[in-house]
Structure formats: C-alpha cells, structure tokens
Amino acid sequence: MVTEWTISGEYAEACNCDVVCQCLWLEAPDDGACTFAIAWNITDGNYGDVDVSGRTVATLVSTDEGVLMDPATQWDVVLLVDDEATDEEREALEDIYFGRAGGIWAAVAETHVRSTESTTAPMEFERDGETTRVSVGDDVAMEVAEAVGFNEDVGEVYPHPFTSDMTMKTAKSTSATVSYDDQFDWDLGGNSAFVCDFELTNA
C-alpha cells in the first residue's frame, strides 16, 4: 500500500531557457536540452505519520536533447535534502521525490528518470517581497525576482505540473549557479524562473 503524503510551501525554479520554459507548451528548450534547479521549502507536510514540515529540498535535473515531457526524453536527477532532516524524514522525502509514493513524481519517474542520486546539504530559503533567495551548501545559489508585466502585475503561467493548481508566477533569475559535479555545473543567471506557493499530494 502506498503511503499518503501531502506537502505545501514555497517554490522557486531557475532554468536555462531565456524567457518562459517552452516545455510547458511541449516545445524544445533554447539550448536543445533542459537544465533546471528547483527548491521546495516545505512549510507543512507529512508522509504518513512522518512530519516533514520545516524541511527544504532541492532537485537538479539534466535531460537529453528534446522536449522535456516527451516520453523519449530521459532525465538525470539529483535530490538534495536539508541536512537537518532525520533519517526518517530523509527517507520520506526520497520516497516522495523519487516517485516511489505516487503523485506527480511517480509519473515522471516511470516515464523519464534514467538515474537518481541523493545527498544532504545545509539549506537556506528566504522570500523577501518579490525576491526569493536559495542556497544549498556549495552546490546551489540562486536569486529569482518576480517578473512584472506592462500593467504592473506579476505574470502567471498555466499549466505547470509541479503544484496542484498548476499556476506559477513568472520570474527572472538575477543569479543562479549550480556546481554539484561536471554534469550539474551550470550558470542559469538571467534566464526564466518561476515562484509560487505550492501544494502537492498523492491523495
């Protein structure tokens, strides 16, 4: 039996596309292949009886060339877990984000994921007005600012699969660097980004 889980909180993403991720409209990315970093600040969450509230995780994704959500496009994924998480909390978060416990990540894992790796790191996630800053040890540092349109409203995009209402605020990465290893060594600054208050569940 799959353990029920629900997580909600704050989300920030930076990717390699110049403006808005073409993957949302099933188009190929600017550089032919997707590279992106996502941070999830879980303010309220549980995996069965395990409380994961207050934990932060990040995912790094590098893909084959092609459309991100095309079934032929394979992903390599690194999961970075808050180093303050207990072993039980870390195992719960790995089950969620590696798709072993249903929900959106199960579909991603079954269709796309070629390799996975998990490690821990100290994490900071701060939202200050329209700006979100994330640091993950020496591996990730990003600052993203909400993108305001001509009418002075922050733009929104739909559908984005990584939150239940599928709506994200558009943003731009002021800076976004990843230096995990040779495969995950990127400068995504000045590119497309997203932020939102997210909620996901397998229920």
Average pLDDT estimate for 84-95: 98
Predicted TM-score of the model (pTM) = 0.95
Q: What is the CA radius of gyration of the chain?
A: 16
pLDDT class for 21, splitting at 50, 70, 90? confident
pLDDT class for 176, splitting at 50, 70, 90? very high
Q: What is the pLDDT of residue 171?
A: 97
Q: What is the pLDDT of residue 81?
A: 98
Q: What is the pLDDT of residue 91?
A: 98
pLDDT class for 23, splitting at 50, 70, 90? confident
The tokens 């993108």 sit on which residue? 147
Candidates 22, 118, 39, 119; CA nearest to 73 is 22
pLDDT class for 109, splitting at 50, 70, 90? very high
pLDDT surpasses 80 at 1: no
Per-residue pLDDT reduced to its tens digit, 115-164: 999 999 999 999 999 999 999 999 999 999 999 988 889 999 999 999 99
Q: Which two tokens stand for residue 125?
A: 């996630």
Query: Phi/psi class of residue 52: alpha, beta or left (left: φ > 0; alpha: ψ in -120 to 50)?
Result: alpha
Q: Which two tokens stand for residue 17?
A: 């596309």
**CB atoms closer than 10 angstroms to residue 89:** 21
> Residue 19 in 3-state DSSP?
coil
pLDDT class for 31, splitting at 50, 70, 90? confident
Compute the distance between CA of residue 91 and CA of residue 20 in angstroms, rounded to an integer.
33
Higher model confidence: residue 163 or residue 1? 163
Q: What is the pLDDT of residue 19?
A: 86
Q: What is the DSSP letter of 164?
A: T
Compute the distance between CA of residue 81 and CA of residue 90 in angstroms, rounded to an integer.
7
Mean pLDDT over each residue of the chain, to the nearest integer: 96
Q: What is the pLDDT of residue 124?
A: 98
